Amino acid sequence: MAAQAARVLVVDDDKNQRNMLVFALETCGYRVTAVAGGGEALAAAAKETFDAAICDVMMPGLDGVKTLERLRAVAPKMRVIMATGYATAQTAAKSKTLGAFNYLAKPYEMNDLLDVLERALRDGREPA
């Protein structure tokens, strides 16, 4: 694990999904903040710096794609990974053109999550 643990923002309206990501990422040594929606995500990103975010696509209110666009505007250095269920695979592909680092199709393997997250963090550390 890196000397300084990376900070990850989790955005998901589904409580179990959110708790699962917190549980999984903390198990692997990351520092995690979890919020239940796009509005809260923007507030959190305005208050502190995150290295990466994992954001659900289908959320009530501010949906995942809109949240992605605004997060990219507020915190351009933060890498955003989108997570999607079956019906929103196309949305997720589109979100890559809107600045998402990558996307994961649920239900994903823990190894795939950690792999994408590590690549996102490396990408974020490289000078532009």
28 belongs to the binding site for other proteins (CB under 8 A): yes
31 belongs to the binding site for other proteins (CB under 8 A): no
CB atoms within 10 A of CB 80: 27
Judged by CB under 8 A, the residue of 8, 35, 57, 113 near other proteins is 113
21 belongs to the binding site for other proteins (CB under 8 A): yes
Which residue, 15 or 66, has its beta carbon nearer to other proteins?
15
Judged by CB under 8 A, the residue of 5, 85, 119, 124 near other proteins is 85
